[in-house]
Amino acid sequence: MKPPSYRVYNHDMNNQASNQSTQNQPANQASQAIATLAGGCFWCIEAVFENMRGVSKVESGFAGGVMLNPTYRQVCSGESGHAEVIQVTFDPSIVSYEELLLVFFTVHDPTTRNRQGADVGTQYRSAVFYHDAAQKAIAEQVIARLTAERLWPNPIVTEVAPFDAFYKAEAYHQQYYRNNASKPYCQIVIAPKVTKFRKAYGYLLK
């Protein structure tokens, strides 16, 4: 499977302009594909997907907005229009895009518009940013399937939208749960999502 081309922007608060770049997937990563998912606070879903087999990299950042190279503060204010997202690099010969989505729809609440729990705002919306027509079709099929199976009692409101650009968040956001597991937010909010994933999808653990 040939991965789609995509734009990635690395954000550094100390030197924003010099870190903005546009790049395509390297040729030597032909076996890799990209998924871009928004499910509330990116710390939460990053912690889940880091544990999934076939996933080689998970980065927290922003997508779906109108401002170039936004800071975390600008995204949190709602002025940039971005959602907090994770960008997942995975090997589709080991774990499929459909499996990624099934986990995604299990570990966050896709039925609450512009919020996850106490986190409220458009930056916390549920969204799948597809990289090609195949990803769009799979996302729509998974949503239809989970709606029919009533995984959630309320309607799924997840946005399915074309991917445009990814802006990597500041360094302290990366691997946040791994580096801050003892903090109250990690114990109260993130840890239950990781536990839920481990129980429901043990066969997908690394």
pLDDT tens across 62-95, in order?
Answer: 999 999 999 999 999 988 999 999 999 999 999 9
Which pLDDT belongs to residue 31?
87
Q: Average the pLDDT over 194-203 and give the result.
A: 92
| Three-state DSSP state, 182 | coil
Q: What is the mean pLDDT of the chain?
A: 86
Which pLDDT belongs to residue 78?
87
Residue 52 DSSP label: B
Which pLDDT belongs to residue 3?
32
Please pick, among 41, 44, 76, 186, the residue that the annotation labels catalytic: 41
Give the C-alpha separation, 189 to 67, whole Å.
Answer: 29
Q: What is the pLDDT of residues 165-197, one digit of tens each?
A: 999 999 999 999 999 999 999 999 999 999 999
Within a 10 A sphere around the Cβ of 149, how many other Cβ atoms?
Answer: 8
Q: What is the pLDDT of residues 117-145, one digit of tens each?
A: 889 999 999 999 999 999 999 999 999 99
**Among 66, 47, 67, 70, residue whose Cα is nearest residue 58:** 47
Which pLDDT belongs to residue 22?
29
Task: Kindly tell me if the per-residue pLDDT of 28 is higher than 60.
Answer: no
Task: Kindly tell me if the per-residue pLDDT of 24 is higher than 80.
Answer: no
**Among 156, 83, 175, residue whose Cα is nearest residue 124:** 83
Which pLDDT belongs to residue 25?
45
Largest CA distance in the chain: 48
CATH fold label, 8-204: Peptide Methionine Sulfoxide Reductase; Chain A (3.30.1060)
**Among 45, 62, 176, residue whose Cα is nearest residue 100:** 45
Which pLDDT belongs to residue 113?
93
Tell me if residue 76 is catalytic: no
